[in-house]
Amino acid sequence: MLGIIEITAWHWAGFIACVLFFLALDLGVFHRQAHVVKFKEAFGWTALWVTVSFCFGLIIGPALIGGWEKQDSVEFVTGYIIELSLSMDNVFVIALIFAYFRVPLQFQHRVLFWGIIGALVMRGALIAAGAAIIKEFSWTLYLFGAFLLFTGIKMLFVDDDGVHPEKNPVLRTAKKFFPVTSELHGQRFSVREGGRLFLTPLALVLLMVETTDLIFALDSIPAIFAITTKPFIIFTSNVFAILGLRSLYFVLAGAIEYFRYLKVGLSFVLVFIGVKMLIAPHGDGPHKWFQAEINSNVSLLVVGAIIITSIALSVVAGRREKRSARQPDKAKR
C-alpha cells in the first residue's frame, strides 16, 4: 500500500510545482484580462479539471508513484468526490457574498483565483497538522467522527442566516488597521491615496471568501480522514477539488434552484462518514463494544449515490416548479 517510504519529497515538490505552473498559466495567460466568465467557458474548464483529477487518481498516480495500488485510487476518487461535493455548498455561499458586495462579474474570477491560493495554503497546513495528530494519537479519529456527525445533523436542521460581514472577526480586524475605499478600483485589492494604503471593497470580499473556505475546510478535511490517513492522497484530492472550484462556481451560481436538496445530501454524507469513523477500529480506541470496517469501495458507492440522488431530486423539483409556473400563463391566454 501507499506509504511514507514510497512518497518522497520529490513527489510532493513535483506535484506542487505542477499546480503552481497551471495557476500561473491560468492567471497570466487565460485570464490575464478581467472578463465575464460565461457558462460555456466555465463548463469547459470544469470538465477539464474533473478529467485531469480522475486521470491523476486512476492513471498518473499508479504510473509515477511506486506502491500506488488500486485501493489508493479508490481512496483518491472517494476523497475527491467528497471534497468536490462539499465545495459545491461553498459555491452557493460565495454567490451570496458576491451578491451582497455587488461584485461585477468580470472581477469575480480574480477574487476566486487568489481565494484558492489562500485555500491551498490553509488546507495544506490543516492536513499536515491533522496527519501529525492522528499519527501520534489515532483515537482522535473518534473525535473527528463525532464532530462530523454533529455537523451533519446540524446542517440538516439549521438554516443559514445569510452573509453578515459585520460578524466576521477577520474583516473587523482588517478595518482596524487599514481604511477601506468607498468604491471599487477595478480588480485591485489595495490602492494608495495621499500616501496611505487603502483596502478596496474587493479585498474585503477576498477575506470573506477565505474565511468561508476555512470554515468549510473544518468539515471537509476531517471527512476525508475517514477515507484515508495518507497525507499525499488527502492533499492531492483536496487540491484538485479546490482547483475546479472557480469554474464550478460560474457553472452552478446561476442554477442554484436546481441544487436545492444538495445541502440535505451533504448532511447525509457527513452523517455517514461520521458514523463510519465512530464504528471503525482506530488503534487503542475508547470502545470495543462494537466495531466495523466500511471499506473504501462501499464508501465510494454510498457517497456517490447520496450526491447523485440529491442532485436528481433537485433537478426534478426545479423543472416541476417551472412547469407549474407556466400553466397559469397558458390559462390566462
| pLDDT at residue 89 in the model | 77
Confidence at 5, pLDDT banded by 50, 70, 90:
very low
User: DSSP letters along 157-222, please?
Assistant: H-------GGG-HHHHHHHHHS-B-SS--TT-SEEEETTEEEE-HHHHHHHHHHHHHHHHHHHHHH
CA 34/CA 103 separation, integer angstroms: 13
Flag the least confident range among 7-21, 39-53, 280-294. Answer: 280-294
| pLDDT at residue 87 in the model | 81
pTM of structure: 0.83
| Average pLDDT of span 317-322 | 80
| Average pLDDT of span 149-161 | 81
Confidence at 232, pLDDT banded by 50, 70, 90:
very high
Q: What DSSP designation does 260 have? A: T
Q: Is the pLDDT of residue 82 over 70?
A: yes
CA 125/CA 131 separation, integer angstroms: 10
Confidence at 323, pLDDT banded by 50, 70, 90:
confident
Q: Are 308 and 247 spatial neighbours (Cβ–Cβ below 8 Å)?
A: no
| pLDDT at residue 235 in the model | 93
| Average pLDDT of span 310-329 | 78
Residues 237-276: tens digit of each pLDDT: 999 998 888 788 888 766 666 777 888 898 999 999 999 8
| pLDDT at residue 33 in the model | 67
CA 117/CA 110 separation, integer angstroms: 11
- Which has more confidence, 301 or 6? 301
| pLDDT at residue 31 in the model | 62
Residues 47-69: tens digit of each pLDDT: 999 999 999 999 888 887 777 88
Q: What percent of the chain is predicted at pLDDT more than 70?
A: 86
| pLDDT at residue 137 in the model | 86
CA 18/CA 235 separation, integer angstroms: 14
Residues 188-204: tens digit of each pLDDT: 899 988 788 999 989 99
Mean pLDDT computed over every residue of the chain: 83
| pLDDT at residue 28 in the model | 63
Confidence at 333, pLDDT banded by 50, 70, 90:
low
**All residues at 6 or more sequence positions from 107 whose CB lies less than 8 Å from its CB, including other chains:** 34, 184, 186, 187, 202
| Average pLDDT of span 123-151 | 89
Region of 162 (left: φ > 0; alpha: ψ -120 to 50; beta: rest) is left
Q: Domain map of the chain by residue range?
A: 9-332
- Contacts by residues 241-244 (CB-CB < 8 Å, ≥ 24 positions apart): 241/53, 241/80, 241/83, 241/84, 241/87, 242/83, 242/87, 242/116, 242/119, 242/120, 242/123, 243/19, 243/22, 243/23, 243/49, 243/116, 244/45, 244/46, 244/49, 244/50, 244/53, 244/84, 244/87
Flag the least confident range among 99-108, 143-152, 224-233, 315-324. Answer: 315-324
Distance between alpha carbon 218 and the CA centroid of its chain, in Å? 11
Residues 18-58: tens digit of each pLDDT: 888 888 877 666 666 666 777 788 888 889 999 999 999 99
Q: Are 297 and 74 spatial neighbours (Cβ–Cβ below 8 Å)?
A: yes
- Which has more confidence, 4 or 113? 113
Q: How is residue 156 written as a grid cell?
A: 440538516
Q: Is the pLDDT of residue 331 over 60?
A: no
CA 292/CA 307 separation, integer angstroms: 24
